[in-house]
């Protein structure tokens, strides 16, 4: 019995020592709550861009002449911050710039050039895309209008204040009331991880409800559909080809992808309305989501993800350009 007691005491002391060491390590590596770091990363991505680098049309990339060169084909890409390339500092690393370089290489043998204008607007939804198209259609004269639709673009979850704000306050209030959270950094690391899972679950639910829920929940998706059809009508009036690319949320890129039903819903709409569509999800399947992010707190695609997107979109866009050449 004495030996058993001694062994138990040794075990307890060993566990306490391990916890003390783990607590010490946690205090060394812990900086601030993850939700504070998340807000900082998002603010950095959206606000620290050097806006003086925008071209004369107020968009990312080089300037294009108002007079379209002979034997050239122009593509306007409409989209949000994923298209803009938020978090990617190199203008040449965005998928729009990569597409222009790749397609120019292919069309150069025919004596033709490709000019691709990056019409991505940070924090935008589809109404801003319609406004942009109306503003620059005459000066840029696009032969192809390509809509790059990130799955969040049919929802209101992109607004940090309206969507993330209440959840952050809920988490902050819970942690402030927790004695263990206040005094143990090891507990903070664990609860921060649980809070991240909680937010991911809320985000996933909100995203799916925005497309598959009640009429009130799907109102932004209805708005998006109307605006996509407006863009199609403008393209038809201009005798331009239109194309549509589905850009997935870069998480859980496996057989259990949580937004498969949304992809199907969006593609079903574009197919019914005779809009040629390319789904980027297969190109990203099997990849580790965080390896494609700008950072662990910012899920905007990094240069690796932009390269994958460009390589996947290229054949689709090339076909649209060639179809437009026949019409011309």
Q: What is the pLDDT along the chain (328 residues), one digit of tens a residue?
A: 667 777 787 877 877 787 777 767 767 877 777 777 766 666 655 555 676 789 989 999 999 998 898 999 999 999 999 999 999 999 999 999 999 999 999 999 999 999 999 999 998 999 999 999 999 999 999 999 999 999 999 998 765 556 677 777 787 788 877 887 788 878 788 888 888 788 788 889 999 999 999 999 999 999 999 999 999 999 999 999 999 999 999 999 999 999 999 999 999 999 999 999 999 999 999 999 999 999 887 889 999 999 999 999 999 999 999 998 766 6
Q: Which one, of 54, 98, 53, 50, lies nearest residue 75 by Cα?
A: 98
Q: Is residue 226 part of a domain?
A: yes
* Angle, CA of 286, 157 and 309, to the nearest 5°: 35
Q: Is residue 103 part of a domain?
A: yes
Q: Which one, of 70, 81, 78, lies nearest residue 116 by Cα?
A: 78
Largest CA distance in the chain: 95
Q: Which one, of 136, 149, 156, lies nearest residue 270 by Cα?
A: 149
**Structural domain containing residue 140:** 39-159+207-327
Record the pTM.
0.88
Q: Is residue 19 part of a domain?
A: no
Q: What is the CATH number of the domain that holds 318?
A: 3.40.50.1110
Q: Is residue 255 part of a domain?
A: yes
The per-residue DSSP string of 251-314 comes to: S--STT-TTHHHHHHHHHHHHHTT--EEE-HHHHTTS-GGGGEEETTEEEE-HHHHHHHHHHHH
Q: Is residue 274 part of a domain?
A: yes
Q: Is residue 174 part of a domain?
A: no
Q: Measure CA of the first residue to CA of the last residue in the chain; give whole Å.
A: 94
d(C-alpha 42, C-alpha 133), whole Å? 27
Strands 277-279 and 298-301: unpaired
Looking at the structure of the chain, the number of domains it has is 1
Q: Is residue 108 part of a domain?
A: yes
Q: Is residue 34 part of a domain?
A: no
DSSP bridge partners of 301 = 293
Neighbours of 57 (CB within 10 A): 18
For 65-215, list the strands marked E by DSSP.
72-79, 113-120, 144-150
């Amino acid at each position: 019995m004495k030996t058993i007691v001694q062994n138990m005491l040794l075990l307890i002391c060993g566990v306490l020592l391990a916890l003390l060491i783990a607590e010490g390590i946690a205090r060394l590596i812990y900086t601030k709550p993850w939700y504070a770091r998340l807000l900082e990363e998002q603010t950095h991505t959206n606000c620290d861009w050097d806006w003086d680098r925008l071209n004369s049309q107020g968009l990312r990339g080089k300037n294009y002449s108002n007079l379209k060169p002979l034997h050239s084909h122009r593509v306007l890409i409409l989209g949000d911050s994923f298209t803009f390339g938020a978090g990617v500092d190199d203008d040449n690393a965005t998928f729009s710039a990569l597409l222009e370089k790749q397609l120019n290489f292919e069309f150069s043998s025919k004596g033709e050039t490709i000019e691709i204008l990056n019409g991505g607007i940070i924090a935008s939804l589809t109404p801003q895309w319609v406004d942009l198209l109306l503003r620059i259609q005459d000066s840029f004269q696009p032969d192809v209008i390509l809509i790059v639709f990130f799955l969040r673009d049919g929802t209101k979850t992109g607004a940090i204040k309206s969507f993330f704000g209440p959840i952050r306050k809920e988490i902050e209030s819970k942690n402030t009331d927790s004695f263990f959270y206040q005094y143990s950094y090891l507990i903070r690391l664990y609860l921060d991880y649980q809070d991240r899972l909680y937010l991911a679950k809320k985000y996933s639910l909100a995203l799916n409800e925005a497309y598959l829920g009640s009429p009130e929940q799907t109102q932004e998706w209805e708005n998006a559909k109307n605006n996509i059809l407006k863009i199609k009508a403008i393209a038809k009036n201009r005798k331009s080809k239109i194309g549509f690319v589905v850009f997935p949320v870069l998480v859980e890129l496996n057989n259990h992808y949580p937004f498969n039903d949304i992809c199907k819903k969006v593609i079903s709409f574009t197919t019914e309305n005779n809009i040629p569509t390319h789904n980027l999800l297969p190109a990203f399947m099997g990849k580790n989501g965080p390896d494609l992010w700008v950072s662990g707190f910012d899920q905007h695609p990094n240069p690796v993800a932009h390269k994958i997107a460009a390589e996947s979109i290229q054949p689709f866009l090339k076909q649209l350009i060639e179809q437009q050449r026949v019409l011309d």
